Amino acid sequence: MARDRNHLRGRKMFKAILVGLSSLAAIAPASAADLPVYKAPIAVIAQSWNGFYVGANVGYGWGRVGQVIDLSGPVNLGSFPIDGITGGAQIGYTMQIAPNWILGIEADIQGASIGATTDRFAFTTRSEVDVWGTVRGRLGYAVGNALIYGTGGFAWAGQEFQVGAAPALSNTHVGWAAGGGLEYAFAPNWSAKVEYLYARFGREDYDFGRFVDPTRVNLELQTVRLGVNYRFGGGPIVASY
């Protein structure tokens, strides 16, 4: 009798376990539906560098002016240093040719007071670059909100040159410029930059007539500039991965 009672008790316990498991299986899907679903975060690739922009810049420039004077020679008087301030405006366009690579073009024009006066033999010589500009290509690599870039292209400079008591003459020197910089987007449409440029210009002749023999002058210039740009249509790029 005891053995039958134990057997009956075991069968009841087994049935209770089966009923419990069945109930748990029915509840589990409903509970899982209430659990929060994990979603991968959407990555933001920071600033869009696509589009047109305008901006302003200010900086410091220095360089050298070389002089060859025709005293039935010619006589090479060597070069002398110049320096001063510069400031102006730029306009450009950039486009993203790959997720991180940026290609663009920029033109700028600056007023300047980069010059010096020096005594050379029997002459007092004065040189001043009062305006200059460039048209350059830009190739950069974007890292977050920062753009590291190299640049190069056409450059020109207006120089006023005077020797002794002769009237000052102005001439336009043309050449090339190359350099690089770092630009940082601090708002959806705004960025700030620091840029270095080296410019080398061709020689130009200054003919002072009866005052001084003809003088051939060359010019090289280096600048470090700070700038700010406003980009039309700027905004974040959202990647869907």
Task: Provide the residue ranges of all domains of the chain, joining segments of one domain with +.
Answer: 1-38, 45-234
Highest mean pLDDT: which range of 2-11, 31-40, 58-67, 122-131: 58-67
Cβ(121)–Cβ(77) below 8 Å: yes
Q: Which residues does 198 contact at the CB level (< 8 Å), separation at least 6?
A: 177, 178, 179, 220, 221, 222
pLDDT for the residue numbered 225: 98
Whether pLDDT at 146 is above 70:
yes
DSSP 8-state secondary structure symbol assigned to residue 122: T
| Mean pLDDT over each residue of the chain, to the nearest integer | 82
Q: Which residues does 161 contact at the CB level (< 8 Å), separation at least 6?
A: 65, 125, 126, 127, 168, 169, 170, 171, 206, 215, 217
pLDDT tens for 107-144 read: 999 999 999 998 876 778 899 999 999 999 999 999 98
Whether pLDDT at 14 is above 70:
no
pTM beyond 0.95: the answer is no
pLDDT for the residue numbered 47: 62
Q: Which residues does 115 contact at the CB level (< 8 Å), separation at least 6?
A: 82, 84, 126, 127, 128, 129, 160
The C-alpha atoms of residue 52 and residue 91 are separated, in whole angstroms, by 8
Beta strands 75-96; 101-120: pairing state: antiparallel
Hey, what long-range contacts does 13-21 have (CB within 8 A, 24 or more apart)? Answer: none
Cβ(185)–Cβ(201) below 8 Å: no
Compute the radius of gyration of the chain from its Cα atoms: 36
Buried b (16+ CB within 10 A) or exposed e, 105-127: ebebebebebbbebeeeebebbb
Whether pLDDT at 7 is above 90:
no
Beta strands 101-120; 146-163: pairing state: unpaired
User: What pLDDT band is residue 39 in, cutting at 50, 70 and 90?
Assistant: low
pLDDT for the residue numbered 212: 73
pLDDT tens for 42-98 read: 444 456 799 999 999 999 999 999 988 766 667 777 889 999 999 999 999 999 998
pLDDT for the residue numbered 176: 98
Least Cα distance to 134 among 1, 5, 223 occurs for: 223
pLDDT tens for 173-219 read: 999 999 999 999 999 899 999 999 999 999 998 888 777 778 889 99
What is the third-level CATH fold of 45-234?
A: Porin (2.40.160)
- Dihedral angle over CA of 8, 12, 17, 22, nearest 10: 130
pLDDT for the residue numbered 46: 54
